Amino acid sequence: MANNFPIGLFDSGIGGLSIYNEIKNSIPNESTIYIADNMNAPYGKKTETEIIQLSIKNTQKLVDLGCKLIVVACNTATTNAIEVLRKKFNIPIVGIEPAIKPAMLETKSNNIGVLATEKTLSSNLFLKTSDRFSMGVNIHEQIGFDLVRIIEENGINEELLNPKLKEYIEPMLEKNIDHLVLGCTHYYYLIYLLKKILPNGVKILDSSKAVTKRVEHLLKHYNICSNESKVRNVFLCTGNDQVIKKFLTTSNKISKITI
Ligand code: DGL
């Protein structure tokens, strides 16, 4: 029975749609419910306590709506709240973290860059992960100040985003990075702008494929893969739906909720 229940995803806004798209590409027969908590975006500037409270509310809502597995489609919520969520909810929960490990293993210059939100970079989970995998590799961290706010308010506005990206990326290039790890799901939508700034030799890493693999693995592990052909994808938001509409590839309806 639980097999045909939906997978629940949440983010502070449109960023997690990059994860949603990846999941739908790989396992299209799974139904989904996506919450964009855009009234409270950006999460990256909130306190850990606030991020935990919002993450609990989003997860509770998805559980109440009958989800069989939760994807925390937000690095900031994962790195600050996933341990609490896993203790509180008796349901498989998949999170997303910056792909530091593959960057560390692949780097030839021994310098990698990580672009993420303030609260991801300062989280204990990120500190633990980066320490565990540092292996003599220098990690050059940069907070993507304002990027999420601009995307949530204006979509991909190149005029506003380009100068900021240049400001954040150029110091990392001076440090000879050969990998740039995207530590925020919103930044997936900046890849084509970043490619114009980065030299050919710098590889961009994001974690959406790894998260999807983990979701597929857990669905099989718990024997809860969908066996239904009728699929429903529901989109919910807590704030304005205008920008989100532009990021959806289909003409799905978006309903407003309070969490
Ligand atoms: N997409 C969220 C993340 O991956 C954005 C965080 C924010 O709202 O600042 O971290």
Q: Which residues of the chain have pLDDT under 50?
A: none
Q: How far apart are CA 20 and CA 250, in angstroms?
A: 12
Q: What is the pTM of this model?
A: 0.96
C-alpha 16 to ligand 1 mean position (Å):
8
Cβ of 148 less than 6 Å from ligand 1: yes
Output the pLDDT for position 19.
97
Sheet holding 32-36, edge to edge: 93-94, 69-72, 7-11, 32-36, 233-237, 254-256
Helix ranges (DSSP H) in 107-241: 118-121, 124-132, 147-154, 158-174, 191-197, 208-221
Structural domains of the chain sorted by starting position, each given as residue range(s) with its CATH number in brackets: 2-96+208-256 (3.40.50.1860), 100-205 (3.40.50.1860)
Residue 228 CA to ligand 1 centre (angstroms): 32
pLDDT value for 176: 97
Token duo for residue 199: 């030299």
Q: Which residues are catalytic?
A: 74, 184
Residue 40, ligand 1, Cβ within 6 A? no
pLDDT at position 229: 83
pLDDT in the model for residue 131: 82
Alpha carbon distance 225, 219 (integer Å)? 5
Is 96 in contact with 211 (CB distance < 8 Å)?
yes
For residue 52, what is the enclosing H or E element? helix 48-64
Give the closest residue (by CA) to ligand 1 atom 2.
Answer: 74
User: What pLDDT, in 10s, does the model give residues 214-237?
Assistant: 999 999 999 999 998 899 999 999
Given ligand 1 and candidates 39, 79, 117, 244, which is best to mutate, with the most ligand atoms within 8 Å of its CB? 117
